[in-house]
């Protein structure tokens, strides 16, 4: 199962997070794992595990901190007996294979855990509240500011495997795509002309990201500003493992899972299941995609390229922007 969790806390709270990135992102990880662990234990009665990846952007490159988590749909029982439990809908005898836990419960618990953690950060003085945020140093003002966030729906989207009998490697590859790269890939950038950058982005708020794609145009300076919002604090770990996948539990957890799956016959069934690979049909040769010169319309020739410097070098050199500081 893939679980996406995101605090739907609005633009002002995102600004607060930008001024307190390390502690706020840490809180996001802790609140998400506490929620997953608790809801799965209470509803499904098995030991949970998760691999989580932090993302700080949306398709518009705006600040939007959220997590992508890969969570097994089963695990060792927490009921005291030695057995494997597969996630299933409550009060349903046969599992349909596409259920992890109650997403509505996940949303409310996630909201409560995150806001409780935010209150602890405030009480311990770990939040930087300067300038426009100085008024929140007062406890009453901070409580008033948080109050509206307690009564809105937060986001927790659970996505099942893409097809029946999907191998674990396929799910791992899905999550691996979020481990590398920056806020935007080159293929989404349409043009950079006359000081404006145009790129493609999904619009709307459909869960799962199936919205229509439209071109978005920003001034070059605004495009760079948005990109730089997502430079993480130096040394910050954006990929973390929890529960059975945590280093201290991993060997024991994986060994126990394999034994219980073998005893239940689940591993043998998975081996015997037909693979999802399909012979590739014959296709026509790929068309010539060599770009043409926009002026003379002749085919362009590749002469070479110069590798650009990595952002790690730029942002920690004497050439870095004056406004960039470690937090």
| Digit-coded pLDDT (tens) for 113-128 | 999 999 999 999 999 9
Contact 85/74 with Cβ under 8 angstroms? yes
* pTM, rounded to two decimals: 0.76
The greatest distance separating any two alpha carbons of the chain, rounded to the nearest whole angstrom, comes to 76
Average pLDDT in the 69-76 region? 92
Contact 47/78 with Cβ under 8 angstroms? yes
Tokens 């791992």, located at residue: 172
Residues 319, 324, 327, CA angle at the centre, nearest 5°?
135
Q: List for the chain the helix, strand, coil content (%; round to 5).
A: 40, 20, 45
User: Sign (positive/negative) of CA torsion 239, 240, 244, 247?
Assistant: positive
Tokens 């998760």, located at residue: 50
247 secondary structure, DSSP code: H
pLDDT band at 289 (very low <50, low <70, confident <90, very high): low
Q: In what order do the strands lie in the sheet with 196-202?
A: 189-193, 196-202, 213-219
d(C-alpha 7, C-alpha 113), whole Å: 11
Q: Which residues contact residue 25 at a Cβ distance below 8 angstroms, ignoring those fewer than 6 apart?
A: 17, 54, 56, 65, 232, 236
pLDDT band at 6 (very low <50, low <70, confident <90, very high): low
Contact 69/97 with Cβ under 8 angstroms? no
pLDDT band at 8 (very low <50, low <70, confident <90, very high): very low
Average pLDDT in the 223-243 region? 93
Q: Where are the beta strands (DSSP E) in the chain?
A: 2-6, 49-57, 63-70, 74-76, 84-86, 155-159, 189-193, 196-202, 213-219, 239-243
């Amino acid at each position: 199962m893939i679980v996406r969790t995101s605090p739907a806390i609005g633009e002002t709270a995102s600004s607060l997070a930008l001024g307190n990135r390390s502690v706020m992102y840490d809180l996001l990880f802790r609140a998400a794992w506490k929620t997953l662990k608790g809801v799965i234990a209470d509803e499904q009665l098995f030991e949970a595990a998760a691999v989580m990846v932090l993302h700080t952007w949306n398709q518009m490159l705006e600040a939007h901190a959220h997590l992508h988590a890969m969570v097994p749909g089963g695990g060792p029982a927490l009921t005291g007996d030695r057995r494997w439990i597969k996630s299933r809908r409550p009060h349903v005898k046969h599992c349909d294979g596409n259920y992890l836990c109650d997403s509505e419960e996940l949303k409310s618990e996630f909201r409560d855990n995150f806001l409780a953690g935010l209150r602890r950060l405030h009480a311990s003085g770990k939040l930087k509240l300067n300038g426009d945020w100085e008024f929140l140093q007062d406890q009453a003002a901070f409580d008033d500011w948080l109050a509206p966030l307690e009564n809105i729906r937060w986001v927790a989207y659970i996505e099942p495997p893409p097809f029946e009998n999907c191998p674990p490697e396929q799910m791992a590859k899905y999550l691996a795509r979020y481990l590398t790269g920056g806020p935007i890939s080159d293929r989404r950038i349409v043009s950079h002309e006359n000081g404006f950058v145009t790129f493609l982005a999904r619009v709307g708020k459909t869960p799962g990201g199936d919205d229509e794609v439209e071109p978005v145009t920003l001034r070059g300076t605004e495009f760079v500003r948005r990109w730089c919002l997502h430079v993480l604090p130096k040394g910050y770990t954006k990929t973390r493992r929890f529960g059975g996948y945590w280093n201290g539990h991993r060997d024991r957890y994986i060994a126990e899972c394999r034994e219980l799956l073998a005893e239940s016959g689940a591993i043998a069934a998975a081996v015997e299941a037909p693979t999802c690979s399909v012979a590739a049909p014959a296709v026509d040769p790929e068309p010539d995609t060599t770009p043409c010169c926009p002026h003379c319309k002749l085919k362009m020739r590749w002469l070479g390229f110069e590798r650009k410097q990595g952002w790690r070098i730029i942002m920690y050199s004497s050439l870095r922007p004056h406004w960039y500081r470690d937090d």
